[in-house]
Amino acid sequence: MRIVVDWELCDGQGSCAAIAPEIFEVTVADQVHVRQPEPPEAAHGLVAEAVRNCPKAALRLEQGS
C-alpha cells in the first residue's frame, strides 16, 4: 500500500493526522506530511479510514511497489 496525496486538493485540514498521527502530520505551514508513504500492514486499517475521511478527497491508496 502506498499513500498518494493530490497536493492541488489538500488544504492541510489534518483529519488524516487526527486519525493516524503515526502516518500523517500537519506542519507549521499547514501542509500535510506523510511520515510513512508505504505504511506497515498493521496500520492499513487506520490509513484506509484516514483516506475515506479526507474532506477534500485529496488522499488515495495505490498498491505498493
Give 13-42 pLDDT, tens digit per residue. Answer: 999 999 999 999 999 888 999 999 999 999
Domain interval for residue 9 = 2-62
The pLDDT score that the predictor gives to residue 10 is 94
Q: Say how many domains are in the chain.
A: 1
Please provide the average confidence, as pLDDT, over all residues in the chain. 95
Please state, for a pLDDT cut of 70, what percent of the chain lies above it.
Answer: 97
Full-model pTM: 0.90
Provide the CATH number for the domain around residue 49: 3.30.70.20
64 pLDDT higher than 70: no
- Angle CA 18–32–5, to nearest 5: 105
CA distance 41 to 14: 22
**Which has the closest alpha carbon to 35: 23, 46, 43?**
23
DSSP-derived 3-state class of residue 41? helix
